[in-house]
Chain A
Amino acid sequence: MDTFQRLSSTFKRLLEAFLLVMAVVVLNFLLIQLAPGDPVEVIVGEMGGASEELMAQLRAQYGLDRPVIEQLGIYVGKVLTGDLGYSYYFNTPVLDLLLQRVPATVLLVMTALFLSVLVGTIAGAVSAKKPDGIGSHIVTIISLVGYSAPVFWIGMMLIILFASMWPIFPVAGMYSIRRPDGFAYYVDILHHLALPAITLATIYVAFYSRLARTSMIEVLGQDYIRTARAKGLSERKVVWKHGLKNGLIPIVTMVGLQFGQLFAGAVLVETVFNWPGLGRLAYESILRRDYPTLLGILLFSAVLVMIANALTDLAYRWIDPRIRKT
């Protein structure tokens, strides 16, 4: 592949990505318009009533009195210049609001992802060693339950168990409201992180353990594993070094593909645990018809998912040298 070809293929990918993001923006914008009632009604609701004049004033201030197509044009134009608009409800530029919330969501999602891949892979690999053993069946059953239970239900059960009946974890939030100083502050955040991260990780642990199990059973049956065993390598080396490296490939694929879903799960978990991230912001902005905020979050997650997919491609190349050559 010469340089020109490589450049043009990169350009093509970027163009595709751009068009995709624009499609996300337009589609979301139009979808939101389908919900009955507008933001001004929500604002008036919380004010306990208002006059016609004030409602008209607010609609004019936010440009809601213009035709939908014109509003869309204005919004797309703004997005192209990097302006995500102004939140009707929080009275703040949307970008500021997003940046305030990103760290909390990243912390939660990444912790959950790490936990689920780690625990899931180990459980899967262990059960693959003896596919008909008791351990394998236990893993299968637990993962089935974890995968089918709704994530918010798991969250509420954990709250009832570990925050109410046996109160060792806080019930909500990311830190104690009277924030401790220094190192204790970080311990406090970890303390708050535990339940939501475990909740979000649960379904994915189930998912990854099943994936790892299937993949490892297949890999461990292949010729090169027999060769490795014939060489006299220890079972540990065979499974964890030779086997796992190839067995990981489908998991990495799924991590990339599921990144977006993990975000979707975060909406529920953040709402249940009052975690101050993007997911809860999304939930609040839907309830309040805060279109700019919601669109901003959707746009942001679309971009994030695309970045995750690109990273997945890179990760493939690193794990599997064969892909590098093609």
Chain B
Amino acid sequence: MKHWKSFLAATCLAALGAGSALAQSSVVIGTPGVPRHFNGAIQSGIYTFLPSANIFASPLRYSDSWEPEPYLAESWEVSDDGLTVTLKLKDGVTFHDGEPLTSADVAFSIETIKENHPFKTMLEPVESVDTPDDLTAVINLAHPHPALLLAMSPTLMPIIPEHIYGPDNGPIRENPANLAPVGSGPFKMEEYKQGEFYKLVKNEDFFLEDKPKLDEIYVQIFPDVKSILLALERGDIDMVTFLSSPRDLSRLEENDDLVVESDLGQAIGPINWIAYNTKKEPLNKVEVRQAINYAIDRDFILNVLLQGKAPLASGPIDPGSPLANPDVEGYDLDLEKAAAMLDEAGYPVGDDGMRFTLTGDTTIADEEMGRNVLQYMKAQLKKIGVGLELRLAPDFPTWAKRISNYDFDITIDKVFNWGDPVIGVNRTYVSSNIRPGVIWSNTQQYENPKVDQLLADAATETDPAKRKALYDEFQTIVVDDSPIYFLNVIPYSTVYQKGLTGVPDGIWGAVAPMDDMAWEE
């Protein structure tokens, strides 16, 4: 019996020892999401973007500024009329299977993304891509498209090999290489166990010298965030991406072994807000929506409910973007003004002390930025004679069905900028995007011809200062019209063990190449 015990202990120790010896060259990332597959050219979302941005390379990349840097493209040039963009590719780049990467692959990728990517507006103006030689790609546009430069990031424009994903190998959605991807990025896919983990290994032939620094990246999938936190605190995993709960972040910040990096991902621009159904009585009146805004103390939400962990989002564009306009109406708490506005709008207090009752939607899983905010709103709105009935959807599809079919008054919603406003902002406000059954379209059913015009003009304006002025005006109008009351930026953070360096902390946050990541010597 004694022998058996000491034998077991010895093997356990041996197993642990083997683990820590390997730790120097590998990193384990914990995530709660299962990637449907790894082909970022036809699938969006953070769980696909993270591996896709590491397996595939893209024409350009961004660090923590909004200025593009060379990646697959050595240089790029936008013509004076803004109608052509010419890319000069690096020579000698190969895919993981050894085949050379040429301009034909770039053309194929751009066409595939335009055809299949969920973000339709991203490459909509692209008419064709010419390939005068193997290392030159010329993108021809129907009209100037300044959003294109951000769209050439690793997150949004993975260059995929035509000989693997081309039409010869069947429809791209059913291509088996979506699960066993072949790219030219810093890491290669070695193994994927569905719903459990995937393992990326170093691409020895990566086109940037001395990169990547790590030998292996494991991404382990957990069923919930709580067990990820526990695993991180125990040191079972090295890094967690896209953590956003203020409570969890506060807890991890107290841990001396961990680094919490929150100032990143401005291009992702994840904004949490209160959306109004602007076609439904009484919210079809702008004064009613504004009155509700005045009844809510946003500072209380930010500083107390969200513990000061989430930055203020005063409008539709992430405050970290150069296009954001912070000088918009702030709707500072004023209950008297709110009540007066409702009186004026024709909703006097009834015999029971109430004016009207609304429903407030969110999902049951969304506690801190959803349910708590609605509970607080309920108490506040009662003070001005407005009832709020909470409807907590048991899961995402239930909520999405209600909201996208306009079966709601007020809902908490989270919508991401995804780079340029043309990609992720316009969809919420342009009247042409009121589409029943489509979540994250213009589900507020907001219509303002002036806004439609401003956004259309800004989409093609090549002069940065003029473009900024157009977006400034758009933001002022939208905040005044108030189809949405903007609350906060979701504080997506990357948390990792001390000693890990080069963790991506740029404008694309964790969905960026991890080629600089390494353990301190």
Contact = CB atoms under 8 A, between A and B. Distances in A.
Nearest to A46: B45
Contacts of A37: 395-398, 400-401
A49 B400 contact: no
Q: Which of A36, A48, A173 has the most CB of B within 10 A?
A: A48
Contacts of B170: none
Contacts of A230: none
Contact of B19 (A48, A97, A178): A178
Interface in B171-198: 173, 178-179, 193-197
A52 B437 contact: yes
Interface string A43-56: 11111111111110
A152 B424 CA distance: 40
Interface stretch (A87-95, A134-142, A236-244, A302-310): A87-95
Nearest to A168: B12
A89 B396 CA distance: 15
A172 B36 contact: no
Interface in B393-430: 395-398, 400-401, 404, 415-416, 418, 424, 427
Contacts of A180: 14-15, 18-19
Nearest to B7: A187
B15 A187 contact: yes
Contact of A42 (B195, B220, B231, B397): B397
Contact of B12 (A46, A49, A191, A284): A191
A47 to B, nearest CB: 4
A53 B438 CA distance: 10
A52 B438 contact: yes
A176 B175 CA distance: 31
A193 B438 CA distance: 44
Given A36-B398, A91-B178, A178-B22, A44 B118 contact: yes
Given A52-B435, A178-B26, A41 B401 contact: yes
Interface stretch (B87-95, B201-209, B222-230): B222-230
B18 A90 contact: no
Chain B contact surface mostly: mixed
A180 B22 CA distance: 10
B223 A45 contact: no
Contact of A91 (B12, B15, B37): B37
B8 interface: yes
Interface string B212-237: 00000010101100010011011011
A55 to B, nearest CB: 7
B43 interface: yes
A184 B511 CA distance: 35
A163 B34 contact: no
Nearest to A36: B398
B440 interface: yes
B119 interface: yes
Nearest to B14: A184
B439 interface: yes
B70 to A, nearest CB: 27
Interface stretch (A15-23, A256-264, A273-281): A273-281
Contacts of B236: 170-172, 176-177
A284 B32 CA distance: 11
A150 interface: no
B423 to A, nearest CB: 10
Contacts of B435: 52
B321 to A, nearest CB: 17
A29 to B, nearest CB: 18
Nearest to B179: A91
A4 interface: no
A110 B398 CA distance: 37
A49 B218 CA distance: 27
A271 interface: yes
Given A38-B397, A49-B118, A89 B36 contact: yes
A234 interface: no
B401 A36 contact: yes
Given A163-B230, A172-B227, A188 B15 contact: yes
A50 B438 contact: yes
A189 to B, nearest CB: 11
Given A51-B120, A51-B438, A41 B397 contact: yes
A90 B34 contact: yes
A184 B222 CA distance: 23
B79 interface: no
Given A45-B400, A180-B19, A276 B439 contact: no
Contacts of B416: 48
Interface string A291-318: 0000000000000000000000000000
Given A55-B438, A276-B193, A284-B223, A178 B427 contact: no
Contacts of A91: 36-37, 178-179
A147 interface: no
B36 A45 contact: no
Given A41-B397, A178-B26, A47 B227 contact: no
Contact of B227 (A48, A55, A274): A274
Contact of B119 (A49, A178, A183): A49
9 contacts: A35-B398, A41-B439, A52-B437, A89-B36, A171-B227, A173-B196, A178-B18, A187-B8, A276-B193
Interface of B: 8, 11-12, 14-15, 18-19, 22-23, 26, 28, 33-34, 36-37, 43-47, 116, 118-120, 173, 178-179, 193-197, 218, 220, 222-223, 227, 230-231, 233-234, 236-237, 395-398, 400-401, 404, 415-416, 418, 424, 427, 435, 437-441
Interface of A: 35-38, 41-55, 61, 89-92, 97, 100, 159, 163-164, 167, 170-173, 176-178, 180-181, 183-184, 187-188, 191, 271, 274, 276, 280-281, 283-284, 287, 289
Given A92-B194, A172-B236, 16 more contacts: A36-B401, A45-B397, A48-B45, A89-B34, A167-B234, A171-B227, A173-B196, A176-B15, A178-B22, A178-B28, A180-B15, A181-B18, A184-B14, A187-B15, A276-B193, A284-B195
